[in-house]
Structure 1
Amino acid sequence: MAVKSVKYYFYVRDVLLLSITAFGGPQAFLAMVLDIMVRKRGYLSENDLMELNALCQVLPGPTSTQTISAIGYRIGGPTLAYISLFVWVLPASLMMIIAAILIDYLQESGNGTLEFAKFIQPMAIGFIIYAAQRTIKIMIQTREAMVIMLLSAFVAFFYNSPFIFPVMLIVGGVSTSLKYHKQPKVEGKSGLNINWDNFLLWAGVLIFAAVLGHFTRLLPVRLFENFYRNGSLIFGGGQVLVPYLYTEFVEFKDYLSSEEFLTGYAISQGLPGPTFSISSYIGALSMREYGLTGQLLGGMVAAAGIFLPGTFLIFFVIRFWDDLKKYRPVRAALEGINAVSCGMLLAAAYLLFEPMEANTFNIIAIALTYCLLQYTKVPSPLIILIGILGGIGYSYVLAAF
């Protein structure tokens, strides 16, 4: 028992180390997990890690968070998994809540302007374009997937309701599952032995939050349901989350402005830990009218909402995934789901740029950011820091004249 406790302690400590040092997105995260948790600690084999990460990539929710939770589940069961989830999520979420509070304060004391963010707002578009290009290169491998991606982007341009996204995911998945015969057959297929506990937990929380929010109209409850629903639908990682959140909280509900959203997204690219932490920023600004306490509550509620569904789902699927992936329609459906996610990402770049002024400065900032990411090894946090410092300098010059 003592040996297990020591092992659990080291695992939680390693998760905390990752949460404050894992800059650079999912690729850097996976490399660090491989180095720390496989090679140094031996918590699991390299093959086990790659299998877990692949499973998390095909499930909705934050891939890095699900991977951390799944490793904790393998080592110490649900308790260690939830502890590791909390430790992984907390630092980035707190930093994004603090960012939201500071931005709100700066706007209140500066006549509602975000001049210090003049550089990083268009830079955020550059990050999204870079993410879209990399994601499309990985996920779009067939002509059918390309068509689905373009159709999804077209629909997202003109129908910005958040309720259209789950419909598009279903349609995309069904459309490619119909060509399952192109998938290779897998021998040794057996029946599925499914434990429904975590699925019922996931669905129960979703239904309860939706009903409670509808009848109470309490903003924290509605925020939790909004983020929980989004966390249950996002395929493709944090970059795909952007168009969903932008459409729902900026265009549909007007909880924050386009400038505030872009500023928060840019800041999130310069922080370690999960990229889904931008949800805490949005949640905090959504409850700014309730003061500091409301902002803290909004940020925490948003974090809980966005991270919990993916954790419930990975606990549910991990037990029978080896059998489920042998069914050809299931494997074929993933192509359409991923294609729709890529279409959403294309739409995000357009939707976030649309409110901005199409001037030379913004276009150069977007292009320069993309080129730095694509053709150099300058780390994302340093790019964002340069943009923030440039914006602060600009605001001082503007104030002086």
Structure 2
Amino acid sequence: MKKIRRIIFLQDVLILACTSFGGPQVHLAMFIERFVNKRNYLTEEELLELQALCAFLPGPTSTQTITALGYKIGGPNLAYLTLLVWITPAVAIMTAAAFGMTYLQNRDIIRFIQPIGVAFIIHAGYALGTKVIKNTSGVLLMMVAAMFAFYFQSPWVCPIALIIGGTYTALDYKDYPAQTKHKMVIPWANFHLFWAFLLFLAVLGHFTDYEPIRLFENFYRNGSLVFGGGQVLAPILYTEFVEFKHLVRADDFLTGMALSQALPGPVFALTSYLGTLVMKNGTWWEQLLGSAVGAAGIFLPGTFLIFFVYRIWGQLKQYRGIRASLEGINTTSIGLTLAAAVTFLVPMVKQVDIIGIATVLATLVLIQFTKIPSFFIFLGGLALGFVFGFLV
């Protein structure tokens, strides 16, 4: 019975990997629908707690959330399988895109994809806000977090905002029932693996000229330090790979970034695209190695961290302040999502992009008043892009 349950879970993960567009908050809404409402793997409260925990860690939030869920259901082995199933579709498409860059130069093909993605982000933020935000104080916290993230765009904004939001609601810890406290037992193995591997790659990358090792170190370092998802990772990688090291052309990077945001699954799959492009002067298998290094480097540190934190999560929740902080972390996370949506909308408004704005509004209507699956909405946007690109 357990084996069948795990196979069904992996099938669910594969379906989500192929259909979940739009980033962590959109992914969370789909996780609630499938894992909570349909399969009853856990409660909605437990999933929101898990998402808040992962949002507080560096690395890809959705990937850590779904990996931790795999760990909860079937232990470490199922967790690693979950990670592989979740990232494989996006990584495969981004690798193929890097091999076929000459066919992607017409960016009109993905003209409608970003506005559709923005609409999904807005809708997910609203839907989750109705579940998480319970009072006027929560609305104000969300708005402050959104303005903070919008006006101070920095890699450190996300962790700072989450810490402040969590601390704010932690002050109301007396509203939560006390629990009998037990001595904490902390298994440090995965945490030591996380930092030791980072140190090992840094030293190895310093003393070797082998490009895949240096790439591995680069992506692992970024995966260890980046908070806030793909919208934060992309500009950091652009600065390093395009402006500083000149390993990737600017137009190639921007095309890959737009495509990664248009695909289902983790936006961090952009690194497999970059790894392939960096190795483009090598053989085809060396380019595939670059893709594998990009994916492994960006996803492994977050996996090591969530394995460490999830094992002590049950012990941490015995403290009322920790439980109270989750409300603020989730509320702040919605504010950060709102800021991301506004960041995408502002250029459309400034450029008077009637097509983009109309696409956002039309998509919101489709999401709100129809039951058309997200996959078909994005597929329709891609089809419109092909027509638009052909006409242009």
Work out whether 1:329 is the aligned partner of 2:327.
Answer: no
Q: 1:286 to 1:339 in 2, by over 3 A?
A: farther
Quote how far apart the aligned CAs of 1:211 are: 6.6
State the Cα deviation string for residues 260-287 of structure 1 (Å, max 9, x = none): 534431222xxxxxx32x2113441465
User: Which of 284, 301, 308 is 2:273 aligned to?
Assistant: 284
Q: CA deviation at 1:96?
A: 3.6
Distance 1:140 1:86, change over 3 A: same
Q: Give how far 1:189 is off.
A: 2.6
- More displaced 10-residue stretch of structure 1: 149-158 or 17-26: 17-26
The whole-number CA distance in structure 1 between the counterparts of 2:258 and 2:346 is 12
Residue 389 of structure 2 corresponds to: 395
Q: Could you tell me how far 1:163 is from its partner in structure 2?
A: 2.8
Q: Distance in 2 between matches of 1:51 and 1:314?
A: 18
Tell me what 1:43 maps to.
none
| 1:23-38 → structure 2 map (5 Å cutoff) | 23-24=19-20, 25-29=27-31, 32-33=34-35
2:127 corresponds to 1:129: no
Equivalent residue letter for 2:322: V
Q: Does 1:360 align with 2:354?
A: yes
Cα shift at 1:305? 4.1
Alpha-carbon offset, residue 373 of structure 1: 1.4
State the match for 1:105 in structure 2: 102
Q: Which residue of 1 aligns with 2:23?
A: none
Deviations 1:125-160 (A, max 9, x none): 222222222232233223333333222222222222
Letter paired with 1:177: A
Output one character per residue of 1:179-227: Cα deviation in whole Å (capped at 9) or x when no partner: 322x322242322222222233234345555676688793442122212
- Residues 158, 210 of structure 1: alpha-carbon distance in 2 compared, 3 angstrom cutoff: farther
Which residue of 1 is the match for residue 245 of structure 2? Answer: none
**Does structure 1 conserve the Cα–Cα contact (< 8 Å) formed by 2:14 and 2:85?**
no
Match of 1:146 in 2: 139
Q: Structure 2 unaligned segments of length 5 or more: list them.
A: 21-26, 243-249
Query: What does residue 224 of structure 2 align with?
Result: 228
Q: 1:78 maps to what in 2? A: 76
| Cα separation, partners in 2 of 1:205 and 1:60, compared to 1, 3 Å | farther
Cα deviation for residue 259 of structure 1 reads 5.9
Does the 8 Å contact 1:97/1:284 carry over to 2?
Answer: yes
Cα drift, residue 348 of structure 1 = 0.8
Q: Give percent identity, aligned residues only.
A: 35
1:204 is matched with 196
User: How far, CA to CA, are the matches of 1:214 and 1:127 in structure 2?
Assistant: 42
Q: Which residue number in structure 2 is paired with residue 265 of structure 1?
A: 261
Separation in structure 2 between the aligned mates of residue 171 and residue 91 of structure 1, nearest angstrom: 36
Letter in 2 for 1:97: T
Give 1:319 shift: 3.7
**Which residue of the other structure, out of 37, 40, 59, is the alignment partner of 2:53?**
59
The count of residues paired between Structure 1 and Structure 2 equals 363
* 1:369 alignment partner, one of 359, 363, 367: 363
- Aligned letter for 1:266? A
Question: Could you give the per-residue CA deviations for residues 86-110 of structure 1, whole angstroms, max 9, x where no partner exists?
Answer: 34432343234334544x3324xxx
* Residues 75 and 334 of structure 1: CA distance in aligned 2, closer, same or farther (over 3 Å): closer
Q: Distance in 1 between matches of 2:33 and 2:96?
A: 28
What amino acid sits opposite 1:202 in the alignment? F
**Alpha-carbon distance, 1:117 to partner:** 1.4
RMSD: 3.6
Q: In 2 relative to 1, CA 228–367 (structure 1 residues): closer, same or farther, beyond 3 Å?
A: same
Amino acid at match of 2:355: F
The answer to whether structure 1 residue 379 and structure 2 residue 379 are counterparts is no
Q: TM-score, normalised by structure 1?
A: 0.75
1:395–1:304 Cα change, 3 Å? same
Q: Tell me: CA distance 1:84–1:165, structure 2 relative to 1, closer, same or farther (3 Å).
A: closer
Using the TM superposition, give the Cα deviation of residue 57 of structure 1 relative to its aligned residue in structure 2, in angstroms. Answer: 2.2
Alpha-carbon spacing, 1:219–1:50, altered in 2? closer, same or farther (3 Å) = same
* Structure 1 residue runs without a partner (length 5+): 1-5, 39-45, 235-240, 269-274
CA-CA distance at 1:33 after TM superposition? 5.0
Q: Distance in 1 between matches of 2:150 and 2:260?
A: 22
Residue identity in the other structure for 2:172 = K
Question: How far 1:377 sits from its partner (Å)?
Answer: 0.5
Q: What letter corresponds to residue 325 of structure 2 in structure 1?
A: A
